[in-house]
Structure formats: C-alpha cells, structure tokens
Amino acid sequence: MQPTPFPGRPDPNDRTAFDRHELGTILGLYGRMVAAGEWRDYGMSFLRDVAIFSVFRRTAEHPIYRIEKRPKLRGRQGQYTVIGMDGQILKRGHDLKTVLRVLERKLIRAVGE
C-alpha cells in the first residue's frame, strides 16, 4: 500500500525561477552597481507565480528595487518588471536586458557625478 502524501506541502518544482542566463544578466548589473557603491546586498524569492530579485542599499532595510519575472504575463505586457522602492513600475517588457536599462541609466549617473 502506498503512503498518502501530505496535502499541504507544496511541490518544490512548482516554482518560478530565473534561468542561468537571466541570473547572469542580473548579477552582471548587480556587480557593476556594487563596484559603483550604489548597491550592497540582494535577496531572491522563488514563488509559484513570480521570481523576485531584490536589491538593497543596506542589508536591514526594504529593497530599493525589485526585478520580477512573471511568466504568465509573457503574452501581454512582458514577463520582466523593474519596481522601485515605492512600488512604482519603472519598466516592463519582454526582454530582460532592455528592462534592466532603466537601472543602467542610474549607474551612468552615479559614475558621472
């Protein structure tokens, strides 16, 4: 007789995640921003409908930016979104590199000052 699985336990494979290429793109930008002294820490969350990369200026505070991947929006506005600290959507689209350009502009401004 087969044991009955526990009904409340979520399947760990039923999560949205960034793939290796996406994570490489995000971490490349993160490294440049750390080198510029703008960012200090990050956190990642992998939930059922969304993968989130949160960026912090200091470890013990709210994220200054969230980079989200929502595959269900792939056919509509685009699955990638950059959200500011106040919850405002800064950029949304289908291509991760294009969406991250909104943060690259802040890097150029930080280095040029």
Kindly state the greatest CA–CA separation across the chain: 70
The angle formed by the CA atoms of residues 100, 64 and 37, to the nearest 5 degrees, is: 80
* pLDDT band, very low/low/confident/very high, at 75 (cuts 50, 70, 90): confident
Over the Cα atoms of the chain, what is R_g? 17
Most confident of 6-10, 32-36, 72-76: 32-36
**Structure tokens of 11?**
């399947």
pLDDT in tens, 31-59: 999 998 888 899 999 999 999 999 998 76
| pLDDT for 27 | 94
d(CA 17, CA 70) in angstroms, rounded, equals 9
